[in-house]
Amino acid sequence: MRSSGGALESAFELVDRLAAACEDLAIPYAIAGSVAAMAYGEPRLTEDVDMVLLLRAEDLPSLLTRFPRPEFYYDEPAALDAIRSRGQFNIIDNESGVKADIFIAGDSITSLQVTPARRLETFIGRAAMFSPPEELVVMKLKYYAFGGSEKHLRDIAAMLANSAAEIDQARIAALADE
C-alpha cells in the first residue's frame, strides 16, 4: 500500500506489509511494542514498528525480497548476524522514514510473544498476529527498567485499564519472576 507519492502512509501500513510477508512465507511472527500496546490499550504516536519473528537464516532472502531496494533500506549482513545472535535488525522505508525493528525471538519472553500470539485486526483492517498482552507488559517493564521512558508505563496503564478482562495478571507476575 503506497500513496501516490510512493511512501508508506503510516507505520500501520508497514505493519500490514510485514505481517502479509510473514504469513505468505510461513514465518511465525507477532506485532509487538507500541503498536501491540495500542491494540490492547489506547492509540498514541509511535516512531517505529516492533515485530518479533522466529526467523531462520534460510528464510531471510525471501523476506527481504518483499522489501525491494531502493524503496527500502536494510543491511542483510546485519540481519544475518541478528538471526545468529538472536538480536535485531531494521527495515526502513526510504521515502517516509518509517522504520521496523525486527527482533529475533531468542529468550523465553520474546519467544512467548510469538508462539501464543493472538490474531487481532490491525489499525487498517488486516487480521494479524499480536503479542499476548502479558508478555507485552513484561517486555514494556523490561524496557522501562533499561531506559526509563515513561511511555512504557503509560502503555501498560492503558492496557490494564482498557483490556483488564483479557489480561492474566498472575501470568504477568510469573513471567516477571522468570
Mean pLDDT over 80-86 rounds to: 96
Mean pLDDT over 4-16 rounds to: 69
Q: Given this model, what pLDDT does residue 9 score?
A: 62
Residue 4 has pLDDT above 90, yes or no: no
Please name the residue ranges forming H helices in the chain: 11-24, 33-40, 60-65, 76-85, 108-114, 133-147, 150-162, 169-177
156 located within any domain: no
125 located within any domain: yes
75 located within any domain: yes
Q: Given this model, what pLDDT does residue 173 score?
A: 92
Q: How far apart are CA 46 and CA 67, in angstroms?
A: 21
Residue 6 has pLDDT above 50, yes or no: no
Q: How many domains does the chain have?
A: 1
What radius of gyration, in Å, describes the C-alpha atoms of the chain?
16
Cis before residue 70, ω within 30 degrees of 0? Answer: yes
CATH of the domain at 86: 3.30.460.40
pTM of the predicted model as reported, rounded to 2 decimal places: 0.88
Q: How far apart are CA 59 and CA 50, in angstroms?
A: 19
| CA-closest candidate to residue 36, choices 176, 173, 143 | 143
Q: Given this model, what pLDDT does residue 95 score?
A: 87
154 located within any domain: no
152 located within any domain: no
Q: Per 3-state DSSP, what percentage of the chain is helix, strand, and coil (rounded to 5)?
A: 50, 20, 35
- 4-18, 137-151, 160-174: range with lowest mean pLDDT: 4-18
Mean pLDDT over 108-126 rounds to: 84
Residues of the domain holding 50 = 11-132
Name the percent of the chain lying above pLDDT 90.
69
3 located within any domain: no
